[in-house]
C-alpha cells in the first residue's frame, strides 16, 4: 500500500486543517506562481566566478621560533594564513573578555588592600605607585572589557602599552619596601599570560622586559641583597628569602610554557571546529544530493514506508489528473540552435516546471526527452486534483511566455548554431494535455527502482498533449466535468480523433474567468484574484473496501520471487542512504542531550566549575560539559600514548630541575653551619624520597597496560610520597623555604595523569604542612612577610590550577572536534560513494563527474546513434483485468528480462515510460562503428520481441519496436531527478517508427537499413513505406537475423555468462 498520510499535527503555517473531514487546505498566492526570480539568480551564478570556501585541510598549526604558534597554509609557498590569524585573535579576544574583567576586579581590590597596607607601614613609594598607576589601570581594564566593541589592532596595542606600564609600576613598587617579595611580580605575570586578551608574543615581551627584568634590576640595585645571604637565611626574622630571587624566573618559564601550550590548544580547537563546520556543510550537501536523487526516483511516502519496514504494495487510485507537457517547437530548436542552447532551453523549462510542481504539490513522475510527465492526487491524495492541475498548466504557460520575453532567454538562447542572433529561436512554446481518471501506481525495477503509473488515464493524457495545438492546454471531458465551475475559461474544441480511442470530445483551457475568479494581469492574461487552494487528504489512499484489500493481501501473501527481489533491492537502497532527518551532528552548536534536573548542591558545584573554567561561554555550557564527560573514556583511550609521553617528559624535567637546585647546596651551603649529621641525613632523605621515587614513577609509567589501568593510582600515590619527602627535606636542609614547596607544587599540578582536584588537594596539604612547620620552627609564629609569601604561594597554585583546567578543557575539546571531523569526513566519503552509485545507475560515468561538479546544463552531440523505442499494444486492456499486485509483478519480470538483454549487448537504457522502453546504441558509448551500433540495436529489438511471451502469456499483448539512426543531442537538464536524455529529430523519428509499426515486428528506418548494409550485416528484410508531415519515407521490417557478426557476438556473450555461472557455482560449493 502506498501511504499518503500527512499527520494533522504537522501542517505548516498557512495551512488550514479540518479535523472533521481530515483534509488540509494549503493556500498558494498567485504572486508565488509568477515569481521568476530564480532566473536572475541562475544568471548571476553562471556569469560569476564560483568562490569556494577556504580549504582548511591544508592548514596546520606550526611553531615559529620553537615556541609561538601560527596557522600556516601548506602550498607552493608556505605562508601564514592571515585570515585565520585575524579570526583567531578576534575570537581569543572575545573569549577572554569575561575572564579579563573578573581577574581585573579581583586584582584591583587586592591592589587597593595592598596599597593601604603599604601606607600603614609607611612604604610611601609602593603605596603611591599602586594607587596612582596600578589600580587605575585595572579600572581601565574593567571598562575595556565592559565595552562590547569588536576586536581591533588599535585596542590590542593600547592594552599592550597599559600592561607594560603596569608591569614596570609593580616591579618598581618593590623598591619602596625594605624586603622585596616575589608575589606581586609573579601575580602580574600570571595575569598577563593567562587572562589578558593579547597575543602570546606580546605577553612574552611584556612579562620579560617590564616584569621579570625590571624586578631583577631592582633587586640588583639594592646593596644589601646577595644571593648567598638569601640561601643561608634560615631564621624567622623578616629578611630576603631564596624564593624572592628564584621564583620569578621559574614562574616566568612555567607560565610561558603553559601559555604557549594553551595558545596551541586554542588554535587546534578553533581549527577543528572550523573543519567540522566545513565537513558538516559538505555532509549536508552530500546527503542532500543523495536525498534529492532518491526522492526523484521514489515519492516521499514510499521512502518513509520503506524506512519504517511497512508493507509496500502497488495500489489503484480512483481519481488523479495526469499532466503531460512538451515543448512544441523543440525539433526546430534542435535543428537551428547549438547543442548548448538547446539544452539551455530545456533546462529553463524543466527548472520552472519543477518549481511550480513543488509549489502546487504536483508529483513529477518522469521526463522523457522534451516531454514532462506529472500527476496530481498520487501518491498523496488531493481532493481538488483537476483544479490543481489546471492551475499548474496555466502557470506553466504564463511562465513560458515570460521566459521567452526575458533578457536571459534572448541573450543566452537567442543564437543560432553559427553564433548569429536568432530572435525566433528563443521563443518557447509548450503544449499541455490533461486527463482525469484512475491509475495503478507502484514501484518497479531492481537495479534502480522507479515510481510508475500504469493505466488508460496515462495514455489518454499523452494523446491530449500530442494532439494539442502549440501554446494551448487540452483536456478531456472527464477533467472538464470535475473542474470547479466559474473559475476557468473553457473552450469546447469538439471531437477529435485519438489513437486507440476513436473520436473523443476535448476542451481547451484558455485561462481564468475574468468576471468570476480572476483579474487582469499581464496584457492579454487573467490571473486568479484569490489564493489557490490545494486540498490534501490525510486519510490513507484506499479505493477498495477493507475486506477486498485484505483478500488481495492474503492472496498475494506469499510474495512471488520477483516481488521479494524488488522489495529487497529497494530496502537495501534505502538502508544505504543517509537522510537529512537522520543526520545528527553532536557538536556544541546543535546538541540534543537530555540533562537530568540537578539538585541544589550539584547545581551549585557545577556552577562553580563553569565559573572557574574561564573559557568562552559557548564552550562552557552545561550541554557541552556533559558531552565532554560522556566522551571522557573515548578521549582517554585515544590520547593514551600522548599522555604517557607527557607524563614521562614531566618527570624527567622535574628531576633535572630538582638536581640543578640541589647542586646549589654544594656551592652555597656551609656544612659547618649544619648541626651534626643534618646535611648527610637531608641528602639521603632527598635522594630516597624525591629522586628515587621519581625515577620509580618513571619506570612504572613506561608500560602501556599499567599506565592505562593504574596510571592515576600510581601517580597519585607516588606524588603524595614525594610531597612528604619535599616537606621533610625543606624542613631539614633549607629552613622550611617555601620555594621548594612552590616548585614541587608546580610539578604536581602539571602531572595530568591525575585528576585536577586530587592535584590541588596535594598542593593544599603541602601548604598546610608549611604553615604548621613554620609555626613550630618560629616560636612566635610567622611574621607578616611569611604570611604574605604563603598567600602568594596559594594564589600561584590557584592561578595555575585555573589555567590548567582551562588548558585540559581546550585540549579535550580539540580532541573531540578532531575525532568528530574524522567521523564526518568518513561519513562524507561514504555518502558521496552512495550518491555516486545512485548516479552511476542513472547516468553514464563521465556525466556523473559533471553532475557531481554541479555543472548544468550538460550538453553533448553524438553522431550516427541508433535509437530504439518500444511500446506494448494491448497492455492497457491487460492491466485493467488483473490486480495491481499481479500487474507490477508482470512489469518487474518484463523489466528484468529487457534489462538483461540491454546489458548483454552493451546498449544504454535511456528511460522507461510505463510499459515502453527508450534505448540508445552509440550514446554515450560511441566506441563502436555506426554499423555495429545499428546491428546491436536490431539484435536487442529482436531479442525483446522473443522474450515478451515468456513474461506475459496473454497473446493479445504484443510489442512494437521502432529504430532510427542519426545525430542526437544528449545531456542532463532540470532541477531534480537527473536523467541522461537524448533529444533531436532522430529521437522523434524513432518514436514515429514505433508508433507506425506493426505489433510483434521490428520496424527500422532507411538510415538504419543503410548502415546495416554498409557493415555487411545480413538480415531478412521486408520493405515498407510510411507518411510523415506530407512526406513519404522508405522503411523496413526486420523478420530474421542472419548476421554472422551478431551470431559471433551472441556466442561470446553466452560463453561469458556460462563461465560466470560455473565460477559462481564452484565458489558456492567450496563455501
- Tens-place pLDDT, residues 424-463: 555 778 999 999 999 988 877 665 667 888 888 998 999 9
The pLDDT value given to residue 99: 79
Average pLDDT, integer, range 126-139: 92
The pLDDT value given to residue 194: 81
Neighbour-count burial for 833-863, b at 16+ CB within 10 Å, e otherwise: ebbbbbbeebbbeebbebbeeeebbbbbbbe
4 has pLDDT over 60: no
Average pLDDT, integer, range 183-210: 87
Neighbour-count burial for 758-767, b at 16+ CB within 10 Å, e otherwise: bbbebbeebb
The pLDDT value given to residue 135: 93
Residue 419 — pLDDT band, cuts 50, 70, 90? low
The pLDDT value given to residue 465: 93
The pLDDT value given to residue 375: 93
Q: Is 84 exposed, middle or buried (0-12, 13-18, 19+ CB in 10 A)?
A: buried
The pLDDT value given to residue 421: 54
The pLDDT value given to residue 544: 37
Average pLDDT, integer, range 243-262: 80
592 has pLDDT over 50: no
663 has pLDDT over 60: yes
The pLDDT value given to residue 266: 76
342 has pLDDT over 70: yes
1000 has pLDDT over 50: yes
The pLDDT value given to residue 798: 86
Reported as type and span, the H/E element at residue 971 is strand 958-972
For a pLDDT cut of 70, what percent of the chain falls above it? 71
Question: Is pLDDT larger for residue 913 or for residue 4?
Answer: 913
pLDDT digits (tens, 9 = 90+) for 769-786: 988 888 887 766 676 677
The pLDDT value given to residue 433: 96
Q: Please name which of 386, 345, 326 lies closest in space to residue 362, comparing C-alpha atoms.
A: 386
Which of 157-166, 649-658, 668-677 holds the top average pLDDT? 157-166
As a whole number of angstroms, the longest Cα–Cα distance in the chain is 131
Residue 234 — pLDDT band, cuts 50, 70, 90? low
734 C-beta neighbours (distance < 10 Å), count: 20
Classified as helix, coil or strand, 478 is helix
The pLDDT value given to residue 677: 57
Which cell numbers hold the place of 82? Answer: 592571515
pLDDT digits (tens, 9 = 90+) for 970-993: 888 766 667 788 888 899 899 999
Range name among 315-324, 656-665, 721-730 with the lowest pLDDT average: 656-665
Question: Is pLDDT larger for residue 842 or for residue 726?
Answer: 726
Classified as helix, coil or strand, 832 is helix
d(CA 126, CA 848): 77
pTM, 2 dp: 0.60
C-alpha gyration radius of the chain: 42
672 has pLDDT over 70: no
Answer whether 344's CB lies under 8 Å from 334's CB: no
Range name among 239-243, 315-319, 553-557, 1009-1013 with the lowest pLDDT average: 553-557
Question: Is pLDDT larger for residue 494 or for residue 265?
Answer: 494
622 has pLDDT over 80: no
195 Cβ contact list (under 8 Å, min separation 6)? 96, 99, 100, 103, 104, 614
160 has pLDDT over 80: yes
Residue 584 — pLDDT band, cuts 50, 70, 90? very low
pLDDT digits (tens, 9 = 90+) for 873-884: 888 788 878 887
567 has pLDDT over 60: no
Residue 733 — pLDDT band, cuts 50, 70, 90? confident
pLDDT digits (tens, 9 = 90+) for 68-90: 777 777 654 555 667 777 887 78
Mean pLDDT of the chain, nearest integer? 76
Classified as helix, coil or strand, 1047 is helix
Question: Could you tell me how many helices (H) and strands (E) the chain has, helices first?
Answer: 37, 24
833 has pLDDT over 60: yes
Question: Is pLDDT larger for residue 269 or for residue 15?
Answer: 269
Which cell numbers hold the place of 424? Answer: 525566433
486 has pLDDT over 70: yes
Residue with cell 624527567: 652
Residue 239 C-alpha from the chain's centroid:
66
The pLDDT value given to residue 1053: 59
Question: Is pLDDT larger for residue 702 or for residue 384?
Answer: 384
d(CA 52, CA 46): 14
d(CA 126, CA 141): 21
Where does 500-634 show beta strands of DSSP type E? 502-512, 518-520, 526-528, 532-537
The pLDDT value given to residue 478: 94
**What backbone torsions phi and psi does residue 472 show, to the nearest 5 degrees?**
-120, 165
Give the residues across from 326 on adjacent strands: 371, 431
Range name among 194-208, 281-295, 503-517, 981-995 with the lowest pLDDT average: 281-295
The pLDDT value given to residue 1035: 95
Average pLDDT, integer, range 362-391: 89
d(CA 282, CA 718): 49
Residue 21 — pLDDT band, cuts 50, 70, 90? low
Q: What sign does the dihedral 792-797-801-807 (CA atoms) show? A: positive
Average pLDDT, integer, range 517-529: 45
d(CA 436, CA 451): 19
Which of 511-520, 824-833, 1014-1023 holds the top average pLDDT? 1014-1023
Average pLDDT, integer, range 288-299: 69
Amino acid at each position: 500500500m502506498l501511504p499518503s498520510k500527512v499527520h494533522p499535527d504537522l501542517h505548516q503555517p498557512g495551512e488550514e486543517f479540518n479535523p472533521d473531514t481530515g483534509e488540509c487546505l494549503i493556500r498558494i498566492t498567485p504572486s508565488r506562481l509568477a515569481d521568476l526570480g530564480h532566473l536572475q539568480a541562475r544568471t548571476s551564478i553562471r556569469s560569476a566566478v564560483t568562490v569556494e570556501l577556504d580549504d582548511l585541510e591544508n592548514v596546520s598549526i606550526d611553531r615559529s621560533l620553537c615556541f609561538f604558534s601560527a596557522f600556516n597554509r601548506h602550498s607552493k609557498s608556505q605562508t601564514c594564513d592571515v585570515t585565520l590569524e585575524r579570526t583567531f585573535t578576534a575570537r581569543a579576544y572575545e573569549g577572554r573578555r569575561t575572564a579579563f574583567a573578573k581577574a581585573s576586579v579581583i586584582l584591583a581590590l587586592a591592589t587597593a588592600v595592598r596599597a593601604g597596607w603599604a601606607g600603614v607601614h609607611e612604604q610611601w613609594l609602593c603605596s603611591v605607585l599602586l594607587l596612582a598607576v596600578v589600580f587605575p589601570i585595572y579600572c581601565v581594564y574593567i571598562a575595556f572589557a565592559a565595552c562590547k566593541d569588536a576586536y581591533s589592532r588599535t585596542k590590542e596595542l593600547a592594552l599592550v602599552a597599559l600592561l607594560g606600564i603596569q608591569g614596570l609600576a609593580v616591579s618598581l613598587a618593590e623598591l619602596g619596601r625594605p624586603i622585596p617579595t616575589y608575589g606581586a611580580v609573579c601575580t602580574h605575570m600570571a595575569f598577563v599570560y593567562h587572562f589578558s586578551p593579547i597575543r602570546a608574543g606580546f605577553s612574552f615581551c611584556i612579562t620579560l622586559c617590564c616584569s621579570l627584568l625590571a624586578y631583577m634590576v631592582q633587586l640588583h640595585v639594592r646593596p644589601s641583597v646577595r644571593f648567598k645571604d638569601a640561601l643561608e637565611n634560615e631564621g624567622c626574622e623578616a629578611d630576603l628569602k631564596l624564593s624572592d630571587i628564584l621564583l620569578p624566573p621559574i614562574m616566568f618559564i612555567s607560565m610561558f610554557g603553559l601559555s604557549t601550550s594553551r595558545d596551541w590548544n586554542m588554535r587546534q580547537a578553533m581549527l577543528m571546529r572550523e573543519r567540522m563546520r566545513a565537513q558538516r556543510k559538505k555532509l549536508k550537501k552530500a546527503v542532500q544530493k543523495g536525498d534529492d536523487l532518491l526522492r526523484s526516483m521514489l515519492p516521499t511516502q514510499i521512502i518513509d514506508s520503506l524506512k519504517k519496514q511497512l508493507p509496500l504494495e502497488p495500489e489503484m487510485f480512483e481519481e488523479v489528473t495526469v499532466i503531460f507537457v512538451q515543448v512544441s517547437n523543440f525539433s526546430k530548436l534542435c535543428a537551428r540552435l547549438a547543442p548548448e542552447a538547446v539544452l539551455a532551453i530545456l533546462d529553463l523549462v524543466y527548472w520552472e516546471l519543477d518549481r511550480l510542481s513543488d509549489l502546487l504539490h504536483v508529483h513529477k513522475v518522469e521526463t522523457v526527452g522534451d516531454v514532462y510527465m506529472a500527476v496530481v492526487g498520487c501518491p498523496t491524495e488531493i481532493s481538488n486534483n483537476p483544479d490543481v492541475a489546471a492551475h499548474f498548466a496555466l502557470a506553466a504557460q504564463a511562465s513560458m511566455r515570460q521566459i521567452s520575453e526575458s533578457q536571459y532567454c534572448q541573450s543566452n538562447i537567442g543564437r543560432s548554431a553559427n553564433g548569429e542572433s536568432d530572435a525566433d529561436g528563443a521563443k518557447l512554446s509548450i503544449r499541455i494535455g490533461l486527463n482525469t481518471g484512475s491509475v495503478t501506481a507502484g514501484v518497479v525495477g531492481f537495479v534502480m527502482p522507479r515510481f510508475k503509473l500504469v493505466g488508460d488515464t496515462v495514455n489518454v493524457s499523452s494523446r491530449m498533449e500530442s494532439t494539442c495545438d502549440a501554446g494551448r492546454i487540452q483536456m478531456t471531458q472527464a477533467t472538464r466535468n470535475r473542474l470547479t465551475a466559474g473559475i476557468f475559461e473553457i473552450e469546447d474544441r469538439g471531437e477529435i480523433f485519438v489513437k486507440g480511442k476513436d473520436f473523443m470530445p476535448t476542451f481547451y483551457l484558455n485561462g481564468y474567468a475574468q468576471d468570476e475568479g480572476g483579474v487582469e494581469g499581464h496584457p492579454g492574461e487573467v490571473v486568479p484574484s484569490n489564493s489557490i487552494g490545494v486540498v490534501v487528504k490525510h486519510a490513507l489512499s484506499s479505493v477498495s473496501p477493507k475486506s477486498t484489500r485484505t483478500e488481495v493481501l492474503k492472496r498475494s501473501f506469499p510474495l512471488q520471487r520477483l516481488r521479494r527481489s524488488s522489495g529487497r533491492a529497494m530496502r537495501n537502497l534505502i538502508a544505504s542512504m543517509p537522510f537529512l532527518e537522520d543526520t545528527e551532528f553532536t557538536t556544541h552548536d546543535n546538541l540534543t542531550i537530555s540533562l537530568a534536573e540537578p539538585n541544589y548542591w550539584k547545581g551549585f558545584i557545577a556552577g562553580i566549575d563553569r565559573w572557574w573554567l574561564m573559557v568562552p561561554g559557548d564552550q562552557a555550557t552545561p550541554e557541552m560539559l556533559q558531552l565532554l564527560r560522556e566522551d571522557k573514556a573515548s578521549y582517554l583511550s585515544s590520547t593514551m600514548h600522548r599522555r604517557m609521553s607527557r607524563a614521562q617528559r614531566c618527570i624527567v624535567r622535574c628531576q633535572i630541575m630538582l638536581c640543578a637546585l640541589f647542586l646549589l647546596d654544594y656551592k652555597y651551603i656551609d656544612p659547618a653551619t649544619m648541626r651534626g649529621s643534618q646535611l648527610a641525613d637531608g641528602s639521603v632523605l632527598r635522594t630516597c624520597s624525591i629522586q628515587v621515587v621519581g625515577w620509580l614513577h618513571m619506570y612504572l609509567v613506561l608500560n602501556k597496560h599499567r599506565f592505562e589501568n593504574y596510571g592515576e593510582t600510581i601517580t597519585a600515590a607516588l606524588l603524595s610520597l614525594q610531597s612528604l619527602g619535599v616537606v621533610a627535606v625543606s624542613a631539614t636542609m633549607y629552613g622550611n623555604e617555601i620555594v621548594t614547596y612552590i616548585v614541587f607544587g608546580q610539578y604536581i599540578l602539571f602531572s595530568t595523569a591525575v585528576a585536577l582536584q586530587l592535584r590541588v588537594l596535594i598542593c593544599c596539604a603541602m601548604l598546610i604542612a608549611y604553615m604548621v612547620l613554620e609555626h613550630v620552627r618560629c616560636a612566635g609564629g610567622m611574621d607578616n612577610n611569611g604570611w604574605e609569601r604563603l598567600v602568594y604561594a596559594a594564589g600561584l597554585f590557584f592561578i595555575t590550577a585555573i589555567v590548567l583546567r582551562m588548558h585540559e578543557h581546550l585540549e579535550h575539546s580539540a580532541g573531540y572536534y578532531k575525532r568528530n571531523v574524522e567521523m564526518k569526513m568518513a561519513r562524507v566519503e561514504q555518502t558521496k560513494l552512495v550518491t555516486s552509485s545512485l548516479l552511476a545507475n542513472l547516468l553514464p560515468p563521465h556525466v556523473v563527474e559533471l553532475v557531481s561538479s554541479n555543472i548544468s546544463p550538460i550538453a553533448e552531440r553524438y553522431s550516427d546513434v541508433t535509437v530504439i523505442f518500444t511500446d506494448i499494444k494491448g497492455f492497457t486492456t491487460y492491466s485493467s483485468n488483473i490486480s495491481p499486485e499481479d500487474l507490477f509483478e508482470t512489469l518487474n519480470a518484463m523489466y528484468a528480462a529487457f534489462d538483461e538483454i540491454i546489458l548483454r549487448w552493451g546498449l544504454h537504457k535511456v528511460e522507461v515510460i510505463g510499459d515502453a522502453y527508450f534505448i540508445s546504441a552509440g550514446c554515450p558509448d560511441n566506441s563502436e562503428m555506426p554499423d555495429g551500433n545499428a546491428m546491436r540495436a536490431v539484435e536487442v529489438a529482436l531479442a525483446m520481441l522473443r522474450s515478451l511471451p515468456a513474461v506475459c502469456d496473454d497473446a493479445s499483448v504484443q510489442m512494437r519496436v521502432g529504430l532510427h539512426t542519426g545525430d542526437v543531442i544528449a545531456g542532463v537538464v532540470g532541477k531534480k531527478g537527473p536523467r541522461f536524455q537524448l533529444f533531436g529529430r532522430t529521437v522523434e523519428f524513432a518514436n514515429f517508427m514505433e508508433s507506425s509499426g506493426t505489433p510483434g515486428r521490428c520496424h527500422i528506418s532507411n538510415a538504419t537499413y543503410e548502415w546495416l548494409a554498409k557493415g555487411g550485416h545480413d538480415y531478412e528484410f521486408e520493405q515498407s513505406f510510411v507518411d510523415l508531415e506530407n512526406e513519404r519515407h522508405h522503411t523496413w521490417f526486420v523478420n530474421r537475423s542472419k548476421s554472422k557478426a551478431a551470431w559471433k557476438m551472441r556466442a561470446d556473450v553466452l560463453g561469458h555468462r556460462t563461465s560466470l555461472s560455473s565460477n559462481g557455482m564452484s565458489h558456492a560449493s567450496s563455501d
